[in-house]
Structure 1
Amino acid sequence: MQSRLNLQQLSAFLTLADTGSFGDAAEALGVSQPALSRTIQQIEGKLGARLFDRDTRKLRLTPAGERLEPLARRLMNEYQEVFAEFDDFVAGRQGVVRIAAFPSVAALLLPSTIVSFRERQPDVRIQIWEDVGRPVHKAVLDGRADIGLSTPPPISSDLRYRPLLRDEVVLVCRNDDMLAHREEHDWSVFATRAFVILSPETGLRAMIDGAMEEAGVAAEPLFNCKQPTTIGSLVNAGLGISALSRLTLAQLDSPTLAYRKLRNPTVARSIGIVTHAARSLSPAARLFLKVLDAQAKLLAPSIDGQPQPGDVL
């Protein structure tokens, strides 16, 4: 026997069991007493069992009614819990936000964003995956990440891009270096000094090589490094000068390093938000992006601002 009651029927049964009166139960449910009576008859017919004993004074549950009552309450509670959980998801109070990001962006922008976001949505889980360039784009394209924080993806891809920060390439030297006494330098400075540079497989290296070519500067790198922290250590040791992006430099947080503007040409990359054009973001991810935008606006002046003679990292 397939005995299935809908939520309206379960509610009618439990309300009548609680009140013990057709009149009171009908009033609580907002229906007429005859309508409630028909509903109970339909329930008993569907279940093939009498649920209430009736006398002139009060209704009482039969053994079948006593067995059904806890089951019906469990079903109603689970129904409420399921949709409460769904409501939390729709409101962005639950879920997972998966982020693929450049290490420089993850280090500088994500900590403050996550702290601010968790103050509002403490039950949302945040997952971070760090890499550079194409792997970040591919993570979003494959659905392993909801949001990418990187340079623009190829125009022909199925990804959307929205600029967030302008990340300028600057000269990096020790703050006691004579180069730190001037506000700006041409790229020709690298032709006369030992040059510490990022390794060729990095996207930033390609930008630096392009600037060198445009400026007509031939500089032979003394060291090729994959990690900006290694470059910072080498420059700190007095082994050369370097060119890094402002966003990358913020990871070093060194009181003995200074940065100065590079001109002729001025080189900058766009760092922004990458999402899939055909895939909707979860409510929690959309809320996270709002907090991310706010944090990026707070950070932008320190990234976009012009270096001054006294500025150090």
Structure 2
Amino acid sequence: MRPEQLSVESLQAFVAVVDTGAFSAAAERLYLTQPAISKRIQSLEATLERPLFERQGRRVRPTEVAERLLPEAREILARLRAIEQQIADLDTVVHGRIRLATSHHIALHRLPGPLAAMRARYPDLELSLAFMDSETGVEAILRGDADLALATLPDDLPGDIEAETVWTDELVPMIARGRNSETPLDTLERLKQWPAILPPVDSTTRRHIEQSLSAQGLRPRAAQESPYLEVIRMMIGAGLGIGFLPRSMATDDLIVLDWPGSAITRSLGWVRHAQRYRSRTVDAVIEALQSR
């Protein structure tokens, strides 16, 4: 191996191919041509004297060498970005690029106000938004693929993660207004008899709902699942079952039911890697979020 031939560009191409699973998709991510991506991968393979990908039609699969290289490549790129940001922070003006991972729900219902405030106060600040579920957002922070994530905060955070609550949601049971006259009227009885529409089983929101239902002796069957609360609201409104949503999402076509147990809540907030450089731009975004 000849380490002097390693380049940032080849490592960026390598990580992009691993993440997307295809040279063409990696080219789109990095705004390059596919031949340019192929050339960078070939250069990296020549330097390492090892193949990095097994071709499977239009898709590629990382080799064992690639699997071992991947965490080191991510760390190198993260450190380089931190160096660039530290130099940018020498200026008095807040500027630079922040990679922000956010759930669709937060982006739709919580982020517009802070985004407008940030744009007005920091016109030279560039936000690159990536939409993903909360669990994936935390993973992106750990991998170094995002500088900050806005997510539903899990009960147990990894040791390298720093997080703070910005918003709190109260989750309440809802049904379609057209089904409110149907019996039984008792919420618990409805949950026993009607299909439930719930978030995915591996999500923090689902765990909070199931813990509260379990305290009432209930294990409802999930007729439908969706990671998107807006989709769940649509399915409830169509009369497909009963579901739990933030109280703020109640609309004219939905009825909020009484809940006899303790309030079901979840915390939404920002997440970052505690061991990485906390730039002035990250602090500016956090300040805008917390002064909402």
Instruction: Judge same fold: TM > 0.5, yes or no.
Output: yes
Counterpart CA distance in 1 for 2:222 and 2:89 is 55
Counterpart CA distance in 2 for 1:225 and 1:138 is 20
With structure 2 as the length reference, what TM-score do the two structures score?
0.60
Counterpart CA distance in 2 for 1:267 and 1:238 is 23
Counterpart CA distance in 2 for 1:129 and 1:173 is 32
RMSD: 2.9
- Hey, what does 1:199 align to over in structure 2? 200
Letter in 2 for 1:108: H
Counterpart CA distance in 2 for 1:90 and 1:258 is 53
Question: 2:152 touches 2:205 (CA, 8 Å); kept in 1?
Answer: no
- Hey, what does 2:10 align to over in structure 1? none
Q: What SS is found at the alignment partner of 2:291?
A: helix
What are the Cα deviations for residues 164-194 of structure 1, in whole angstroms up to 9, with x where unaligned?
Answer: 12222211222454379xxx97544311334
With structure 1 as the length reference, what TM-score do the two structures score?
0.56
- Hey, what does 1:270 align to over in structure 2? 267
Match of 1:290 among 284, 287, 290: 287
Counterpart CA distance in 2 for 1:90 and 1:179 is 63
Please show how residues 1-313 of structure 1 align to structure 2 within 5 Å.
90-152=91-153, 154-178=156-180, 187-246=188-247, 249=249, 254-260=251-257, 262-295=259-292
- Hey, what does 1:20 align to over in structure 2? none
- Hey, what does 1:24 align to over in structure 2? none
Counterpart CA distance in 2 for 1:158 and 1:268 is 25
Q: What SS is found at the alignment partner of 1:105?
A: helix
Q: Which has the larger radius of gyration?
A: 1
Structure 1 residues 91 and 285: alpha-carbon distance in aligned structure 2, compared to 1, 3 A threshold:
farther
Question: 1:92 touches 1:283 (CA, 8 Å); kept in 2?
Answer: no
Q: What SS is found at the alignment partner of 2:276?
A: coil
Question: 2:199 touches 2:228 (CA, 8 Å); kept in 1?
Answer: yes
Q: What SS is found at the alignment partner of 2:95?
A: coil
Identity %: 22
Q: What SS is found at the alignment partner of 1:212?
A: helix
Give the gaps of 5 or more residues in structure 1.
1-85, 296-313
What are the Cα deviations for residues 131-158 of structure 1, in whole angstroms up to 9, with x where unaligned?
Answer: 2233211222222222122233534421
Deviation at 1:196, TM superposition (A): 2.5
Letter in 1 for 2:102: A
Structure 1 residues 278 and 87: alpha-carbon distance in aligned structure 2, compared to 1, 3 A threshold:
closer
Q: Which moved more, 1:223-232 or 1:284-293?
A: 223-232
Structure 1 residues 272 and 189: alpha-carbon distance in aligned structure 2, compared to 1, 3 A threshold:
same
Structure 1 residues 150 and 266: alpha-carbon distance in aligned structure 2, compared to 1, 3 A threshold:
same
Structure 1 residues 88 and 224: alpha-carbon distance in aligned structure 2, compared to 1, 3 A threshold:
closer
Question: 1:169 touches 1:267 (CA, 8 Å); kept in 2?
Answer: yes
Q: What SS is found at the alignment partner of 1:271?
A: strand
Counterpart CA distance in 2 for 1:256 and 1:158 is 43
Q: What SS is found at the alignment partner of 1:116?
A: helix
